[in-house]
Chain A
Amino acid sequence: MSITLYLGCVIKALYPEVEKAIKEVLERMGVNFEEPKDASCCAPLGFFSLNRDAWLRLNERNMRLFQDTVVTACDDCFASLNDAFKIVSENKGIKAPEVKPFGKFMLENLENRGLRFSFKGLRCTVQHSCHFLRPARGMDDAENPRVVKSVLEKLGYLPVSYDGELDCCGGLAFEERVREMLARRKAEALEKSGADCVVSTCSHCMRQLRAVSRLPILHLAQLSALSMGANPEEIGVPDMLLRRMVKP
Protein backbone atom coordinates (compact mmCIF):
# COMPACT_ATOMS: atom_id res chain seq x y z
CA MET A 1 0.00 0.00 0.00
CA SER A 2 1.22 3.47 -0.88
CA ILE A 3 -0.08 6.68 0.65
CA THR A 4 0.62 10.38 1.09
CA LEU A 5 1.26 11.29 4.73
CA TYR A 6 0.01 14.74 5.74
CA LEU A 7 1.23 15.55 9.25
CA GLY A 8 -0.04 19.12 9.50
CA CYS A 9 1.78 22.23 10.72
CA VAL A 10 1.34 21.69 14.48
CA ILE A 11 2.75 18.17 14.59
CA LYS A 12 5.61 19.05 12.24
CA ALA A 13 6.58 22.17 14.15
CA LEU A 14 5.79 21.23 17.74
CA TYR A 15 5.51 17.46 18.21
CA PRO A 16 8.41 15.58 16.55
CA GLU A 17 7.74 12.62 18.86
CA VAL A 18 4.29 12.23 17.28
CA GLU A 19 5.75 12.42 13.78
CA LYS A 20 8.29 9.76 14.76
CA ALA A 21 5.51 7.57 16.20
CA ILE A 22 3.35 7.79 13.06
CA LYS A 23 6.28 6.91 10.83
CA GLU A 24 7.21 3.95 13.08
CA VAL A 25 3.64 2.69 12.85
CA LEU A 26 3.43 3.00 9.06
CA GLU A 27 6.81 1.33 8.59
CA ARG A 28 5.93 -1.52 10.92
CA MET A 29 2.62 -2.01 9.08
CA GLY A 30 4.44 -2.16 5.75
CA VAL A 31 2.83 1.00 4.37
CA ASN A 32 4.87 3.00 1.84
CA PHE A 33 4.40 6.69 2.46
CA GLU A 34 5.64 9.93 0.98
CA GLU A 35 5.39 13.45 2.33
CA PRO A 36 5.23 16.14 -0.36
CA LYS A 37 7.74 18.75 0.81
CA ASP A 38 5.83 21.53 -0.92
CA ALA A 39 2.41 20.87 0.60
CA SER A 40 1.17 23.97 2.44
CA CYS A 41 -0.99 24.51 5.50
CA CYS A 42 -4.53 23.17 4.91
CA ALA A 43 -5.83 26.62 5.89
CA PRO A 44 -8.54 25.60 8.35
CA LEU A 45 -10.93 27.88 10.22
CA GLY A 46 -8.74 30.97 10.59
CA PHE A 47 -8.72 31.41 6.85
CA PHE A 48 -11.94 29.70 6.06
CA SER A 49 -13.79 32.20 8.20
CA LEU A 50 -12.54 35.02 6.04
CA ASN A 51 -11.57 33.84 2.66
CA ARG A 52 -13.15 30.77 1.14
CA ASP A 53 -11.35 31.35 -2.14
CA ALA A 54 -7.91 31.16 -0.46
CA TRP A 55 -8.94 27.98 1.38
CA LEU A 56 -10.09 26.27 -1.83
CA ARG A 57 -7.15 27.39 -3.95
CA LEU A 58 -4.48 26.42 -1.42
CA ASN A 59 -6.05 22.99 -1.13
CA GLU A 60 -6.46 22.58 -4.87
CA ARG A 61 -2.70 23.08 -5.00
CA ASN A 62 -2.20 20.55 -2.18
CA MET A 63 -4.50 18.11 -3.94
CA ARG A 64 -2.29 18.09 -7.03
CA LEU A 65 0.71 17.10 -4.91
CA PHE A 66 -1.02 14.10 -3.31
CA GLN A 67 -1.45 10.42 -4.17
CA ASP A 68 -4.86 8.70 -4.31
CA THR A 69 -4.93 8.12 -0.54
CA VAL A 70 -3.90 10.73 2.03
CA VAL A 71 -3.54 9.83 5.70
CA THR A 72 -3.77 12.82 8.04
CA ALA A 73 -2.18 12.93 11.48
CA CYS A 74 -4.48 15.71 12.68
CA ASP A 75 -8.27 15.53 12.45
CA ASP A 76 -8.56 19.25 11.79
CA CYS A 77 -6.37 18.85 8.69
CA PHE A 78 -8.54 15.87 7.73
CA ALA A 79 -11.67 18.02 7.84
CA SER A 80 -10.15 20.92 5.94
CA LEU A 81 -8.56 18.79 3.19
CA ASN A 82 -11.50 16.42 2.85
CA ASP A 83 -14.12 19.16 2.57
CA ALA A 84 -12.06 21.38 0.27
CA PHE A 85 -11.14 18.47 -2.04
CA LYS A 86 -14.82 17.53 -2.43
CA ILE A 87 -15.72 21.07 -3.50
CA VAL A 88 -12.73 21.46 -5.84
CA SER A 89 -13.44 18.05 -7.33
CA GLU A 90 -17.08 18.97 -8.04
CA ASN A 91 -16.24 22.41 -9.41
CA LYS A 92 -13.42 21.33 -11.67
CA GLY A 93 -14.21 17.70 -12.46
CA ILE A 94 -10.85 16.50 -11.07
CA LYS A 95 -10.75 13.25 -9.10
CA ALA A 96 -10.14 14.00 -5.42
CA PRO A 97 -7.79 11.85 -3.33
CA GLU A 98 -9.42 9.93 -0.50
CA VAL A 99 -8.55 11.53 2.84
CA LYS A 100 -8.28 9.17 5.83
CA PRO A 101 -7.85 10.41 9.36
CA PHE A 102 -5.21 8.38 11.25
CA GLY A 103 -7.75 6.70 13.59
CA LYS A 104 -9.92 5.48 10.74
CA PHE A 105 -6.87 4.32 8.78
CA MET A 106 -5.72 2.29 11.78
CA LEU A 107 -9.14 0.75 12.33
CA GLU A 108 -9.23 -0.44 8.73
CA ASN A 109 -5.63 -1.60 8.45
CA LEU A 110 -4.39 -2.67 11.84
CA GLU A 111 -3.69 -6.35 12.07
CA ASN A 112 -2.97 -7.80 15.46
CA ARG A 113 0.05 -9.77 14.36
CA GLY A 114 2.10 -6.57 14.31
CA LEU A 115 1.68 -6.11 18.06
CA ARG A 116 4.56 -6.91 20.37
CA PHE A 117 3.32 -5.64 23.70
CA SER A 118 0.01 -5.30 25.44
CA PHE A 119 -1.08 -2.79 28.03
CA LYS A 120 -4.12 -4.48 29.49
CA GLY A 121 -5.31 -2.32 32.28
CA LEU A 122 -3.87 0.95 30.96
CA ARG A 123 -6.93 3.15 31.16
CA CYS A 124 -7.28 5.64 28.30
CA THR A 125 -9.87 8.37 27.89
CA VAL A 126 -10.47 9.69 24.42
CA GLN A 127 -10.57 13.38 23.56
CA HIS A 128 -12.79 13.17 20.47
CA SER A 129 -12.02 15.63 17.68
CA CYS A 130 -14.94 17.91 16.88
CA HIS A 131 -13.97 18.26 13.24
CA PHE A 132 -13.64 14.52 12.64
CA LEU A 133 -17.12 13.89 14.04
CA ARG A 134 -18.89 16.96 12.69
CA PRO A 135 -20.33 17.72 10.26
CA ALA A 136 -21.15 13.99 10.21
CA ARG A 137 -19.49 12.34 7.22
CA GLY A 138 -20.52 8.77 8.01
CA MET A 139 -17.05 7.84 9.31
CA ASP A 140 -18.10 7.43 12.93
CA ASP A 141 -21.20 7.74 15.11
CA ALA A 142 -21.26 11.50 15.69
CA GLU A 143 -23.12 11.19 19.01
CA ASN A 144 -21.41 8.04 20.31
CA PRO A 145 -18.01 7.86 18.65
CA ARG A 146 -16.33 4.46 18.44
CA VAL A 147 -13.41 4.71 16.00
CA VAL A 148 -10.56 5.70 18.33
CA LYS A 149 -11.89 3.51 21.16
CA SER A 150 -12.03 0.50 18.83
CA VAL A 151 -8.43 1.04 17.75
CA LEU A 152 -7.39 1.26 21.41
CA GLU A 153 -9.23 -1.99 22.17
CA LYS A 154 -7.56 -3.72 19.22
CA LEU A 155 -4.21 -2.54 20.53
CA GLY A 156 -5.01 -3.97 23.96
CA TYR A 157 -5.71 -0.76 25.88
CA LEU A 158 -8.74 -0.10 28.02
CA PRO A 159 -10.78 2.87 26.82
CA VAL A 160 -12.86 4.47 29.58
CA SER A 161 -15.95 6.62 29.08
CA TYR A 162 -16.56 9.81 31.04
CA ASP A 163 -19.12 12.57 31.51
CA GLY A 164 -18.61 15.39 29.03
CA GLU A 165 -16.90 13.13 26.50
CA LEU A 166 -18.28 14.99 23.48
CA ASP A 167 -17.49 18.44 24.87
CA CYS A 168 -15.16 20.67 22.90
CA CYS A 169 -11.80 21.50 24.58
CA GLY A 170 -11.73 24.99 23.08
CA GLY A 171 -8.59 24.28 21.07
CA LEU A 172 -9.89 26.26 18.12
CA ALA A 173 -11.53 29.06 20.06
CA PHE A 174 -9.90 32.36 19.13
CA GLU A 175 -11.16 34.31 22.11
CA GLU A 176 -8.79 33.87 25.05
CA ARG A 177 -11.39 33.76 27.83
CA VAL A 178 -13.49 31.12 26.06
CA ARG A 179 -10.34 29.13 25.26
CA GLU A 180 -9.30 29.03 28.90
CA MET A 181 -12.71 28.22 30.34
CA LEU A 182 -13.31 25.36 27.91
CA ALA A 183 -9.83 23.94 28.51
CA ARG A 184 -10.25 24.00 32.28
CA ARG A 185 -13.67 22.41 32.06
CA LYS A 186 -12.41 19.63 29.81
CA ALA A 187 -9.30 19.00 31.92
CA GLU A 188 -11.49 18.54 35.01
CA ALA A 189 -13.75 16.06 33.20
CA LEU A 190 -10.75 14.07 31.96
CA GLU A 191 -9.17 13.92 35.40
CA LYS A 192 -12.44 12.80 37.00
CA SER A 193 -12.58 9.86 34.57
CA GLY A 194 -9.85 8.08 36.55
CA ALA A 195 -7.83 7.36 33.40
CA ASP A 196 -4.04 7.01 33.21
CA CYS A 197 -3.77 9.03 30.02
CA VAL A 198 -5.75 10.92 27.38
CA VAL A 199 -5.69 9.91 23.72
CA SER A 200 -6.32 12.34 20.90
CA THR A 201 -6.07 12.49 17.12
CA CYS A 202 -6.23 16.27 16.84
CA SER A 203 -3.16 18.45 17.28
CA HIS A 204 -5.20 21.43 18.48
CA CYS A 205 -6.78 19.32 21.24
CA MET A 206 -3.32 18.05 22.19
CA ARG A 207 -1.91 21.54 22.37
CA GLN A 208 -4.82 22.88 24.33
CA LEU A 209 -4.93 20.01 26.85
CA ARG A 210 -1.16 19.68 27.32
CA ALA A 211 -1.22 23.26 28.57
CA VAL A 212 -3.72 22.56 31.37
CA SER A 213 -4.00 18.85 32.20
CA ARG A 214 -1.98 16.86 34.73
CA LEU A 215 -2.58 13.69 32.70
CA PRO A 216 -0.28 12.67 29.85
CA ILE A 217 -1.89 13.78 26.57
CA LEU A 218 -0.89 11.36 23.82
CA HIS A 219 -1.60 10.99 20.14
CA LEU A 220 -3.12 7.64 19.17
CA ALA A 221 0.00 7.05 17.06
CA GLN A 222 2.20 7.13 20.17
CA LEU A 223 0.25 4.30 21.83
CA SER A 224 0.06 2.41 18.52
CA ALA A 225 3.83 2.64 18.03
CA LEU A 226 4.41 1.60 21.64
CA SER A 227 2.37 -1.58 21.17
CA MET A 228 4.37 -2.34 18.06
CA GLY A 229 7.67 -2.19 19.92
CA ALA A 230 8.95 1.32 19.13
CA ASN A 231 11.43 2.97 21.50
CA PRO A 232 9.27 4.74 24.14
CA GLU A 233 11.75 7.56 24.56
CA GLU A 234 11.82 8.39 20.85
CA ILE A 235 8.04 8.42 20.58
CA GLY A 236 7.61 10.46 23.76
CA VAL A 237 5.75 8.00 26.01
CA PRO A 238 6.32 8.89 29.68
CA ASP A 239 7.87 6.29 32.03
CA MET A 240 4.86 6.26 34.32
CA LEU A 241 2.83 4.54 31.60
CA LEU A 242 5.48 1.93 30.80
CA ARG A 243 5.08 0.27 34.19
CA ARG A 244 1.81 -1.16 32.92
CA MET A 245 3.45 -2.94 30.01
CA VAL A 246 3.00 -6.73 29.83
CA LYS A 247 3.78 -9.34 27.17
CA PRO A 248 0.61 -10.26 25.27
Chain B
Amino acid sequence: MINRLRERGAGNFLKCIQCGSCTSACIVNVVEEEFNPRKIIGSIVRFNKFPDQDPWLCSACLLCVERCPQGVNPFSIIVSLRTIRYENGNALPNKVIELIEQVKKTGLAFSLSKEVEEKRKLLGLPGFGLSEEGLSEVRRILLEAGV
Protein backbone atom coordinates (compact mmCIF):
# COMPACT_ATOMS: atom_id res chain seq x y z
CA MET B 1 0.00 0.00 0.00
CA ILE B 2 2.80 2.40 0.88
CA ASN B 3 4.45 1.98 -2.51
CA ARG B 4 1.15 2.27 -4.32
CA LEU B 5 0.51 5.61 -2.61
CA ARG B 6 4.05 6.83 -3.21
CA GLU B 7 3.90 5.97 -6.91
CA ARG B 8 0.82 8.15 -7.18
CA GLY B 9 2.51 11.16 -5.61
CA ALA B 10 1.72 10.84 -1.88
CA GLY B 11 4.52 12.68 -0.10
CA ASN B 12 6.33 11.97 3.13
CA PHE B 13 3.41 10.44 5.04
CA LEU B 14 5.59 8.26 7.27
CA LYS B 15 6.71 11.44 9.03
CA CYS B 16 3.15 11.98 10.33
CA ILE B 17 3.04 12.29 14.14
CA GLN B 18 -0.78 12.30 14.29
CA CYS B 19 -0.76 15.75 15.91
CA GLY B 20 -4.01 16.80 14.24
CA SER B 21 -2.82 20.11 12.76
CA CYS B 22 -4.34 19.02 9.44
CA THR B 23 -7.75 18.33 10.96
CA SER B 24 -7.54 21.54 12.95
CA ALA B 25 -6.95 23.43 9.67
CA CYS B 26 -9.59 21.48 7.74
CA ILE B 27 -12.67 23.52 6.81
CA VAL B 28 -14.50 20.46 5.52
CA ASN B 29 -14.12 18.84 8.94
CA VAL B 30 -15.97 21.86 10.40
CA VAL B 31 -19.04 21.21 8.26
CA GLU B 32 -18.71 17.41 7.82
CA GLU B 33 -17.19 15.84 10.92
CA GLU B 34 -16.75 12.40 9.38
CA PHE B 35 -14.04 13.81 7.08
CA ASN B 36 -10.89 13.83 9.18
CA PRO B 37 -7.46 14.08 7.51
CA ARG B 38 -5.60 13.02 10.65
CA LYS B 39 -7.60 9.78 10.76
CA ILE B 40 -7.12 9.23 7.03
CA ILE B 41 -3.34 9.36 7.43
CA GLY B 42 -3.55 7.41 10.69
CA SER B 43 -5.35 4.60 8.93
CA ILE B 44 -2.43 4.31 6.50
CA VAL B 45 0.57 4.79 8.78
CA ARG B 46 -0.77 3.07 11.91
CA PHE B 47 -3.10 0.37 10.63
CA ASN B 48 -1.82 -0.32 7.10
CA LYS B 49 -5.35 0.08 5.88
CA PHE B 50 -6.89 2.13 3.10
CA PRO B 51 -9.14 4.67 4.84
CA ASP B 52 -12.91 4.28 4.48
CA GLN B 53 -13.46 8.02 4.22
CA ASP B 54 -14.32 9.50 0.83
CA PRO B 55 -11.29 11.48 -0.42
CA TRP B 56 -13.62 13.44 -2.73
CA LEU B 57 -15.05 15.31 0.28
CA CYS B 58 -11.84 17.37 0.45
CA SER B 59 -12.33 20.89 -0.97
CA ALA B 60 -8.63 21.20 -1.88
CA CYS B 61 -8.03 24.40 0.12
CA LEU B 62 -4.52 23.15 1.00
CA LEU B 63 -4.48 24.72 4.45
CA CYS B 64 -3.41 21.31 5.84
CA VAL B 65 -0.34 21.50 3.60
CA GLU B 66 0.50 24.95 4.95
CA ARG B 67 -0.01 24.02 8.61
CA CYS B 68 1.55 20.54 8.84
CA PRO B 69 4.63 20.85 11.10
CA GLN B 70 6.13 17.68 9.61
CA GLY B 71 5.91 18.68 5.95
CA VAL B 72 3.65 15.72 5.21
CA ASN B 73 1.42 17.30 2.50
CA PRO B 74 -1.86 15.63 3.46
CA PHE B 75 -3.45 16.82 0.21
CA SER B 76 -1.05 14.72 -1.85
CA ILE B 77 -2.29 11.69 0.09
CA ILE B 78 -5.91 12.63 -0.62
CA VAL B 79 -5.07 12.92 -4.32
CA SER B 80 -3.34 9.52 -4.35
CA LEU B 81 -6.35 7.98 -2.65
CA ARG B 82 -8.66 9.48 -5.27
CA THR B 83 -6.50 7.97 -7.98
CA ILE B 84 -6.41 4.55 -6.33
CA ARG B 85 -10.18 4.53 -5.81
CA TYR B 86 -10.61 5.33 -9.49
CA GLU B 87 -8.21 2.55 -10.49
CA ASN B 88 -10.19 0.18 -8.27
CA GLY B 89 -13.29 0.92 -10.33
CA ASN B 90 -15.08 3.47 -8.12
CA ALA B 91 -17.12 6.06 -10.00
CA LEU B 92 -15.85 9.62 -10.24
CA PRO B 93 -17.99 12.53 -9.04
CA ASN B 94 -20.25 13.80 -11.84
CA LYS B 95 -18.62 17.21 -11.81
CA VAL B 96 -15.23 15.66 -12.57
CA ILE B 97 -16.65 13.56 -15.39
CA GLU B 98 -18.32 16.63 -16.91
CA LEU B 99 -15.08 18.63 -16.83
CA ILE B 100 -13.03 15.83 -18.37
CA GLU B 101 -15.59 15.18 -21.13
CA GLN B 102 -15.72 18.88 -21.97
CA VAL B 103 -11.92 19.12 -22.25
CA LYS B 104 -11.87 16.00 -24.48
CA LYS B 105 -14.51 17.58 -26.69
CA THR B 106 -13.24 21.17 -26.96
CA GLY B 107 -9.85 21.45 -25.22
CA LEU B 108 -11.49 23.79 -22.69
CA ALA B 109 -13.39 22.98 -19.51
CA PHE B 110 -16.48 25.11 -20.21
CA SER B 111 -18.56 25.81 -23.29
CA LEU B 112 -20.10 29.03 -24.51
CA SER B 113 -23.83 29.76 -24.15
CA LYS B 114 -25.70 31.69 -26.86
CA GLU B 115 -26.10 34.59 -24.43
CA VAL B 116 -22.38 34.88 -23.68
CA GLU B 117 -21.56 34.47 -27.37
CA GLU B 118 -23.73 37.52 -28.13
CA LYS B 119 -22.20 39.51 -25.29
CA ARG B 120 -18.68 38.67 -26.47
CA LYS B 121 -19.53 40.03 -29.92
CA LEU B 122 -21.03 43.17 -28.42
CA LEU B 123 -17.86 43.79 -26.36
CA GLY B 124 -15.61 43.16 -29.36
CA LEU B 125 -13.95 40.11 -27.79
CA PRO B 126 -12.19 37.58 -30.04
CA GLY B 127 -13.49 34.18 -31.17
CA PHE B 128 -13.74 31.32 -28.70
CA GLY B 129 -12.10 27.94 -28.92
CA LEU B 130 -9.08 26.12 -30.33
CA SER B 131 -8.31 25.55 -34.01
CA GLU B 132 -8.99 22.10 -35.50
CA GLU B 133 -5.28 21.41 -35.46
CA GLY B 134 -4.84 22.52 -31.85
CA LEU B 135 -7.79 20.48 -30.72
CA SER B 136 -6.52 17.31 -32.38
CA GLU B 137 -3.17 17.76 -30.60
CA VAL B 138 -4.96 18.06 -27.25
CA ARG B 139 -7.08 14.98 -27.99
CA ARG B 140 -4.00 12.97 -28.95
CA ILE B 141 -2.26 13.91 -25.68
CA LEU B 142 -5.32 12.90 -23.64
CA LEU B 143 -5.65 9.62 -25.51
CA GLU B 144 -1.96 8.77 -25.05
CA ALA B 145 -2.11 9.66 -21.36
CA GLY B 146 -5.06 7.33 -20.96
CA VAL B 147 -7.70 9.93 -20.05
Give the interface of A toward B (CB within 8 A): 9-10, 12-14, 16-17, 19-20, 23, 35, 37-41, 43, 45-54, 57-58, 61, 130-131, 133-136, 142-143, 166-168, 170, 172-175, 177-179, 181-182, 185, 234
Q: Which range holds the interface residue count of chain B? A: 35 or more
Q: Are A58 and B141 in contact (CB under 8 A)?
A: yes
Contact A143/B32 with A37-B134, A40-B138, A57-B145 known, Cβ cut-off 8 Å:
no
Give every chain A residue within 8 A of B109 (Cβ-Cβ): 9-10, 41, 46
Interface of A is mostly: helix
Q: How far is the CA of A38 from the CA of B30 in the complex (A)?
A: 42
Q: How far is the CA of A246 from the CA of B107 in the complex (A)?
A: 44
B63 at the interface (CB under 8 A from A): yes
Q: Are B62 and A135 in contact (CB under 8 A)?
A: yes
Q: Are A49 and B82 in contact (CB under 8 A)?
A: yes
Give every chain A residue within 8 A of B119 (Cβ-Cβ): 16-17
Contact pattern, B 1-35, Cβ under 8 Å of A = 1, otherwise 0: 00000001100000000000000000110111001
Closest chain A CB from B102 CB (angstroms)? 8
Q: Are B63 and A50 in contact (CB under 8 A)?
A: no
Q: How far is the CA of A61 from the CA of B140 in the complex (A)?
A: 12
B146 at the interface (CB under 8 A from A): yes
Give every chain A residue within 8 A of B83 (Cβ-Cβ): 49-50
Give every chain A residue within 8 A of B63 (Cβ-Cβ): 130, 134, 166, 168
List 4 tightest A-B contacts by C-beta distance, closest first.
A38-B134, A168-B61, A13-B110, A134-B62
Q: Are A14 and B110 in contact (CB under 8 A)?
A: yes
Give every chain B residue within 8 A of A41 (Cβ-Cβ): 103, 107-109
Closest chain B CB from A148 CB (angstroms)? 17
Closest chain B CB from A41 CB (angstroms)? 5
Q: Are B61 and A130 in contact (CB under 8 A)?
A: yes
Give every chain A residue within 8 A of B126 (Cβ-Cβ): 35, 37
Q: Which of A57, A133, A172 contacts B141 (CB 8 A)?
A: A57
Q: Are B82 and A50 in contact (CB under 8 A)?
A: yes
Closest chain B CB from A130 CB (angstroms)? 4
Q: Which of B9, B30, B125, B144 contacts A16 (CB 8 A)?
A: B125
Q: Which of A13, A49, A181 contacts B116 (CB 8 A)?
A: A13
Q: Are B66 and A134 in contact (CB under 8 A)?
A: yes
Give every chain A residue within 8 A of B145 (Cβ-Cβ): 51, 53-54, 57
Closest chain A CB from B101 CB (angstroms)? 11
Give every chain A residue within 8 A of B47 (Cβ-Cβ): none
Q: Are B107 and A40 in contact (CB under 8 A)?
A: yes
Give every chain B residue within 8 A of A49 (Cβ-Cβ): 79, 82-83, 96
Apart from A167-B27, A185-B31, what are 20 other A-B pairs with CB-CB below 8 Å? A9-B108, A9-B110, A13-B108, A13-B110, A16-B116, A38-B137, A40-B138, A46-B99, A46-B100, A49-B79, A54-B146, A58-B138, A61-B137, A130-B62, A130-B63, A168-B63, A173-B28, A173-B58, A178-B59, A234-B123
